[in-house]
Amino acid sequence: MAGVSVAAEWQLLYNRYYRKSEIYQMQWKNVDLARNKIACAPFGGPIAVIRDDAKIVQLYAESALRKLRIFTASGVLISETIWKNPGGRLIGMSWTDDLILVCITQDGSVYFYNIHAELVNTFSLGKECNENSVVECLFSGNGVVCINEAFEIFSLPDLKMPKTVKLPDCNLEGLPNCMAVIDPQCTKSGDIELLMGVGDHVLSVEEDGIQQLAPGIGPLQKMVVSRRGEYVACFTHDGRLLVLSVDFSNVIIEYTCESSLPPDQLAWCGLDSILLCWDDMLLMVGPFGDPVRYIYDDPIILIPENDGVRILSDKTMEFLHRVPDSTVSIFQIGSTSPAALLYDALDHFDRKSAKADENLRLIRSSLPEAVEACIDAAGYEYDKYLQRTLLRAASYGQTFASHVQRDSIREMCKILRILNGVRSVEIGIPLSIQQYKLLTPTVLINRLVYARKHLLAFRISEFLSMNQETVLMNWTCTKISESSAVPDSTLLEILLEKLKTCKGISYAAVAAHADKSGRRKLAAMLVQHEPHGSKQIPLLLSIGEEDNALTKAVEIGDTDLVYLVLFHILQKRAPLDFFVTIQARTLARDLFITYARSFKREFLKDFFLSAGQLHEVAFLLWAESWKHAKNPIKGHRIIVIKKAHELFKNTKEHMFESKAAEEHAELLKIQHELEATTKQAVFVDSSISDTIRTCIVLGNHQAANKVKTTFKVSEKRWYWLKVFALATIRDWTALENFSKEKRPPISYRPFVEACTDAGEKSEALKYIPKLADPRERAEAYARIGMEKEAAEAASQAKDGEGELLGRLKMTLSQSASATSIFDTLRSSFPGVSSQF
Amino acid sequence: MSQIPNLENAPINLAAIRARARSELEIILKNIRGDKCLVMDPKLGGSLSFLIHSSDLKEHGAELRYLTPEPIQTERTKVIYLVRAQLDFMKFISSHIHSDTSKGIQREYHLYFVPRRLVVCEKILVEEKVHSLLNIGEFPLYMIPLDEDVLSFELDLAQKEYLVDGDTTCLWHIAKAIHSLEFSFGIIPNIMTKGKAAARVADMLGCLQAEEPANTSDVNVPEINTLILLDREVDMVTPMCSQMTYEGLLDEFIGINNGALEVDASVMGVQQEGKKTRVPLNSSDKLYKEIRDLNFEVVIQVLRQKATSMKQDYTDITNTTQVSELKDFVRKLHSLPEMTRHINLAQHLSTLTSKPSFHGKLDMEQTLVEAESYEICFDYVEELIHKQEPLEDVLRLLVLLSITNSGLPKKNFDYLRREFLHSYGFEHISTLYNLEKAGLFKKQDSKSNWLTIKRAFQLVVENRDTSNPKDISYVFSGYAPLSVRLIQQAMRSGWRPIEEILKLLPGPHSETKRRGMSYEKQPGYTSSSEILDGGRRPLVFVVFIGGVTFAEISALRFLSSQEGMAYELLVGTTRIVNGRSLIETFVDKLG
């Protein structure tokens, strides 16, 4: 059968099959794992290699200076740099989740490298680690725990933040036999937890306390915690492998090894088995049954993944993992599962054998499961030929089955296409399907971008219809950084061609990067393409393009942005320069004036002066004159107004204002005098008309006349004012005398109105007959309710349309009639008005 | 009855807009735990009464205060300022904090800007050294439904700010508000504008759409078919005239603020000395909905008929024994409070409208609008100034006189200005300057074309049957508001046929179809005037930049209710205005 060769390479551990398949022949040359310190990132991540300075090694034809080299998981060199950092021996080296290489040296310095071997950050673990050298460090995810020579323990829960926490003192007298760290995500307290094999027990150390566990378990030689922090595997001094729950209360597996020599490495392979690695032997122990043995000639490094372990040697990268159930059901020797028969049927079909049909008949009822199993199994294969055959089997079966999820095959093809893409030797990310799902496509794309595999990242995000913005953005920024020799306009064209394919990309962000890379001109060109004005403007400001920013802000019309630019320019430029800048832009100028009017008046005056708008300065001065009202030197207020008067005189258009200011000053002078002579503070700040009225009311006719002549008050106005003032003090005799002084310039209307308004019917009657216009007369009569006289007067008026009569009637009757309607309404609902 | 109107019959889901605003406010209050003192600027406080009852605010542990220059008197240690982003408020807040600090009072200060934080405001806070003491946030309240067919952007000073100060912040606000409507109701496919500010808003809307495209994937057909943006500047005549509808007159004489009137309790028939009563006015009051848009003369007749029929019912019921009839009667009685309310108000109004001075004023407005006897009008205004009549009334007519004549001859202009300053004081030089800058009261610079406009749009309608009106002119008893005539024209045939006349009015005009919208590709979408699902007519959103009067809204409602009218109307405005309130924004005393 076809599957025999596949299953032949499996090993049985109790009732489960494991397989170890080679993923890569390592591309590197002359890398000897034994001579080097190695850090491998999970999820098929990169490998960091540096000569181990803790070992005495012979130098070949190489420099004495050490080199930090970073390879892909397939052994392709990504980058290298010479290790020149001081701080003594390199104690620990590990990758964080976002693929930053963390190196800790003896003196407690922490160095961060990106995969391009560029130092991106560095900080110190603190004074204690500096004084007493770090001797041991243990990484867990994004955290680390260190021990120094004084056996003080420090933890750094998050490597991104340089905040060292000193763990409680455990009174250690020597380095513990073994240690393990539990990731903060898996502990109850949410802090990092350290397990140490000390003497014959285990200490659990956390920020807020120490706990002794498993007394009498005996000295432990090696310890490793499972992925999710549920179990711990230990190797005892007497050669036993123990698997316990993490609180050491429950022994789950106990296996006695042939040797009590502790293994070099101990690792979980998924959750089902433990790997022990000695010099030349790899031992896999499961819960039951005999362990599986692999023999190696070269040293190896175990790289635990969530679904298995990768094994790195000088020559190869292998993946050891449990054979998934679907694969077993197809390829197990002698399997008669529907999936196996379907796979077989395809083989017959390919060979044009009629047996294909026979097989299909046999499994007709369970065809959907068989198809699913083939699809599933395809996902686990690294071998493209097998992937294809399994998918073809699934597709072959699908044509005969009616109830199959039709999308499954397509989905799986998509995933495999991506996986095969990233697994290729050049890219070197050997993700399994389970790792891929756990890592998520987004993170994978980010990693590719990070590794500057932009095209693949772009294609994958396109393929998955994800937003390509991040990829494109990163490409652009990288391109800018790398193209320092390319002229701005050429580079701009290259960039725009790519950027325009992606809608909604932030040109402002690209421009900001260009600016940071020292290409201000390019930044200015790029920012023109940004559709978001609000993003464009701060950037234009930061690259010193204030005028552009101002023009743009005015164009957009968002006053907030205009103010932002205004204040920026105001700070940067000399006042005169600033004035020139805003003078040409109406909106900017108007906004500045609005703001300055309340908060920067002196500055505003400077502006108006510089712009030659003297009348505006005059208005400001005039307004200020009121603030001088309480000034003891009363003359000062008048001086300010006179200054305004002079300024107004400079422009022909403001002669009116100039005259008004002059009059105002004069008025104030007279009012001050009046207040002084009458000892009544009622004049200042009243109008000319009011001043006249007040004078008359106070009986000071002479003063009233003086105001009248000073300000050339017209006879018309004078009559109204005097009549009203006399009516106010109800001096009807004086009123009558005034009416007889001479013929009033606007007939006797003021007299009639004043008397009518005051309710003095008889007084009004003195003047009504004197009204020349019969219309006016009629209306006046009507107002005091004399219907007959009104009608008579109206008949004398030439009122062709009878409009006047109608209106009179309304005046006479409306109030009365309307009221009567409402009164009848009210009386019909007793109590209505008071209730509601 | 509540000041919060019922929005069930709104043409678009205004209730959702209100609910969102309300919940945003509640989140702000919830996030600041415990007892607090909520300080609002008075205008905003008024606006919020359309949104939430003050008792609900108190339920969130908030003690309510209005923002004034005086320090706040409160025991609470947490103070939330909820204010519009206005410069003078920043001074107040700074002085409050300084006063607290000087007294050694420690408080937690929160400042929420409505609708968004502004650089210029924060600049002042920084200069006053209080910026770091404030937790600053935003309450993005861009608009409030005043009624089921009216949306307000609550920008009281809009017109003065952009005409006099050149500050276009309010235009941005309007564009932003419309843009946010597009997020909910789809991109409005047709935009018509008239006037400078309108053109500017349309530009800004275009910018916003380019920057942040409204996602219309879940809106099949846009719910708003056409947007008409109208700059108040185009028609300043209408608001200067006295409104003659019931609602308009209530606003003119008593003043409707935030959807309610405040009158002496005695007017409403409650005998309490000197007490004021609040009367909410919106379409939740069915009787009000029926009569608000009618000419006041007709309102009296309608009320009389209703009262008479009720009186008849009342007599009948005393003779009946039938339970069902009793039930009927009781049902009718439910409308009694509404009846009483409006009878009281109408009576109060009629005592005010019957004054001869009011009739004189109406006559003069008519004469001014007819614009055929300049001398009479000039003399009348001159006399008002000499008599020192209330400032706003005088300015209203002054503005009417100036606009209908394209300004006054220099001699007259200077003369009236002088008389004005002599009568009301020199401090009003800045009021005059404001009006001049805004083009409302100015020197004549060209021949007036008002007569042409008046004739082209048939603004003065002789045949006025107020009880059974055939034309919108009933709202001003014979004058058809120019603004509404423009809208009528826009809806009927667009700007094309009247382009020549439009050029006589201030500012540019435009008519655009917005392209590239996803729904255009859908096969179901054919023509704009097609009746939408549910038998609704396509909706036209009319936005008045600078304010709208109640009478104009009434005229629009009248248009919308006419037979054969293809569109439904929704009104948007910076605020509700009348001549007085509009003039008040320009009044500015020096000192």
- The 8 Å CB, 24+ separation contacts for A632-640 are A634/A672, A637/A668, A638/A665, A638/A668, A638/A669
The answer, yes or no, to whether residue B480 has pLDDT greater than 70, is: yes
Range of lowest pLDDT (A379-393, A771-785, B53-67): A771-785
CB B195 within 8 A of CB B510: no
pLDDT of A2: 45
Predicted confidence (pLDDT) at residue B525 exceeds the cutoff of 50: no
Residue A591 has pLDDT above 80, yes or no: yes
Predicted confidence (pLDDT) at residue B536 exceeds the cutoff of 50: yes
> What span, in angstroms and rounded, lies between the C-alpha atoms of A526 and A521?
9
Classify B527 as helix, strand or coil: coil
Q: Does A819 touch chain B (CB under 8 A)?
A: yes
User: E strands of B357-504, at which residues?
Assistant: none
Interchain pair B354, A626: CB under 8 A:
no
Q: What is the ipTM of this complex?
A: 0.90
Q: What mean pLDDT do residues A696-702 have? A: 92
Please state whether A392 falls in left (phi above 0), alpha (psi between -120 and 50) or beta: alpha
Contact A563 B382 (CB under 8 A): no
B589–chain A nearest CA distance, Å: 9
The pair of structure tokens assigned to A563 is 């103010």
Find residue A265's DSSP bridge partners. A277
Determine the angle formed by the axes of helices A732-741 and A749-757, rounding to 10 degrees.
170
Mean pLDDT of A49-72: 85
**pLDDT, tens digit, for every residue of B178-203?**
999 998 898 899 999 999 999 999 99
3-state secondary structure (DSSP) of residue B8: coil
- Give the residue from B331, B315, B311 showing the smallest Cα distance to B323: B331
| Token digits of residue B556 | 């629009």
Q: Is B526 exposed, middle or buried (0-12, 13-18, 19+ CB in 10 A)?
A: exposed
For strands B226-231 and B190-194, give the pairing. Answer: parallel
- Which residue from B523, B525, B560 is spatially nearest to B540, judged by alpha carbons? B560
User: What pLDDT is stored for residue A630 in this prediction?
Assistant: 55
pLDDT at A652: 87
Tell me the C-alpha distance between B487 and B544, whole Å.
Answer: 11
Residue B218's pLDDT is: 57
* pLDDT tens string A750-783: 999 899 888 888 889 889 888 888 888 888 888 8
The bridge status of strand B78-84 relative to strand B36-40 is parallel
Min Cα–Cα distance to chain A from B555, Å: 26
Average pLDDT of span A556-576: 91
By C-alpha distance, which of A754, A757, A758 is closest to A767? A754
| Cβ atoms < 10 Å from Cβ of A405 | 13
Using the beta-carbon criterion (under 8 Å), do B387 and A590 form an inter-chain contact? no
Asked whether the beta carbons of B202 and B231 are under 8 A apart, the reply is no
Cβ atoms of residues B401 and B383 within 8 Å: no
Region A80-102 average pLDDT: 90
Average pLDDT over residues A206-232: 86
Helix (H, G, I), strand (E, B) or coil at A173: coil
Give me the phi and psi of A134, to 5 degrees please: -75, 135
- Pick from A477-481, A655-659, B77-81, B192-196: least confident: A477-481
Task: Check residue B58 and give its pLDDT.
Answer: 87
* Residue A502 to residue A810: CA distance in whole angstroms: 75
Share of chain A above pLDDT 90, in %: 38
Question: How close is the nearest chain A Cα to the Cα of B415, in Å?
Answer: 10
A233-289 pLDDT, tens digit each: 999 988 899 998 888 888 888 888 888 888 999 999 988 899 999 888 899 998 888
Which helix (H) or strand (E) element contains residue A748?
Answer: strand A745-748
DSSP states along B129-162: T-GGGEEEEE-----EEEETTEEE---TTHHHII
Confidence (pLDDT) at B217? 59
Quick one: pLDDT at residue B67?
93
Of B200, B269, B427, the CB nearest to A557: B200
Between positions 524 and 543 of A, the ones with CB within 8 A of B are 531-534
What is the pLDDT, as a whole number, of residue A392?
93
| Helix pair angle (A441-450, A454-463), 10° resolution | 160
**Tens digit of pLDDT for each residue in B382-407?**
999 999 999 999 999 999 999 999 99
Which two three-digit tokens encode residue B313?
């019912």
The pLDDT of residue A831: 38
Which H or E run contains A201?
Answer: strand A201-206
CA A449 to chain B, closest CA, distance in angstroms equals 27
Q: Residue B195: left (phi > 0), alpha (psi -120 to 50), or beta?
A: left
Selecting from B307, B311, B591 the residue whose C-beta is nearest the C-beta of A623 gives B591
* CA distances, A279 to each of A264, A294, A747 (Å): 7, 11, 128
The 10 Å Cβ neighbour count of residue B540 is: 26
Output the six-digit token pair for A630: 């309480």
Are A783 and B354 contacting, i.e. CB atoms less than 8 angstroms apart? Answer: no
Specify the pLDDT at position A807: 60
Establish if A821 touches chain B: CB-CB under 8 angstroms: yes
Give the list of residues 6+ apart from residue B411 with CB closer than 8 angstroms, or none.
none
Q: Residue B214 and residue A194: Cα distance in Å, rounded?
A: 53
Cα separation, A295 vs B249, whole angstroms: 103
Confidence of residue A183 (pLDDT cuts 50, 70, 90): confident
Task: Please tell me which residue of chain A has the smallest CA distance to B434.
Answer: A619
Q: Is A799 on the interface with B (CB under 8 A)?
A: no
Contact B172 A619 (CB under 8 A): no
Residue A806: predicted pLDDT: 59
* Residue A825 pLDDT: 47
Rounded distance between C-alpha atoms, residue B584 and residue B591, angstroms: 17
pLDDT for A833 equals 36
- Residues B232 and B201: their CA atoms lie apart, in Å, by 13
Residue A682 phi, psi (nearest 5): -120, 0
Q: Does residue A708 surpass a pLDDT of 90? A: yes
Outline where DSSP puts E strands in A314-357. 316-322
Q: CA-to-CA distance for B242 and A340, rounded, in angstroms?
A: 93
Per-residue model confidence (pLDDT) at position B154: 94
User: B44 vs A312, A389, B143, B553, B574, CA distance in Å?
Assistant: 70, 72, 11, 23, 14
State the pairing for strand pair B108-114/B78-84: parallel
Per-residue pLDDT for B509 more than 80? yes
Taking CA atoms, what residue in A is nearest to B272?
A834
Residue A150 has pLDDT above 70, yes or no: yes
How confident is the prediction for chain B on average, in pLDDT?
A: 88
Distance of alpha carbon A695 from alpha carbon A687, whole angstroms: 12
Going from the C-alpha of A816 to that of each of A622, A811, A819, A824, B389, the distances in angstroms are 52, 9, 5, 12, 27
Q: Indicate whether A610 pLDDT > 80.
A: yes
pLDDT at A161: 82
Q: Which of A586, A596, A558, A532 is nearest to B169 (CA)?
A: A558
| Number of other residues whose CB lies within 10 A of the CB of residue B322 | 10
Nearest to A282 by CA among A268, A300, A269: A300
User: In which element (H, E) is residue B116 found?
Assistant: none
Distance CA A830, CA A682 (A): 53
* Cα–Cα distance measured from residue B277 to residue A206, given in angstroms and rounded to the nearest whole number: 69
Of residues A533, A619, A659, nearest to B211 (C-beta): A533
Q: pLDDT tier at A77 (50, 70, 90 boundaries)?
A: very high
Mutate to test the interface with B, among A687, A723, A812 (most CBs of B within 10 A): A687
User: Beta strands A300-305 and A308-313: pairing type?
Assistant: antiparallel
Contact B570, B544 (CB under 8 A): no
Can you name the residues that pair with A232 across neighbouring β-strands? A225, A244
**What is residue A192's predicted lDDT score, i.e. its pLDDT?**
84
Looking at per-residue pLDDT, the higher value among A188 and A105 belongs to A105
- Cis peptide preceding B213, ω within 30 of 0: no
> Percent of chain B having pLDDT more than 90?
61
The C-alpha atoms of residue A165 and residue A153 are separated, in whole angstroms, by 9
- Find the range with the poorest average confidence among A373-387, B114-128, B301-315, B337-351: B301-315
DSSP code for B408: B
Over range A510-524, report the average pLDDT: 84
Q: Helix, strand, coil proportions of chain A in percent (round to 5)?
A: 50, 20, 30
Select the residue from A541, A560, A756 to test the B interface by mutation, using most B Cβ atoms within 10 A. Answer: A560
pLDDT band at A810 (very low <50, low <70, confident <90, very high): low
C-alpha to C-alpha distances, A832 to A196, A835, B283, B333, B348, nearest whole angstrom? 91, 5, 23, 11, 17
Helices (H), A558-600: 559-572, 575-583, 586-599
Ranges of beta strands (E only) in A278-410 are 281-285, 292-295, 300-305, 308-313, 316-322
Contact state of B429 with A622 under an 8 Å Cβ cutoff = yes
Partners of residue A721 in chain B, C-beta under 8 Å = 386
A505, A480 contact by CB (below 8 A): no
The answer to whether the beta carbons of residues A203 and A215 sit under 8 Å apart is no
Indicate the pLDDT class of residue A537, thresholds 50, 70 and 90. confident
Tell me whether residue B294 is exposed, middle or buried, using C-beta atoms within 10 angstroms of its C-beta: 0 to 12, 13 to 18, 19 or more: buried
Nearest to A779, CA basis, from A758, A801, A800, A799: A799
CB pair distance less than 8 Å for A560 and B351 = no
H or E, element range at B184: helix B169-185
Residue type, A746: I
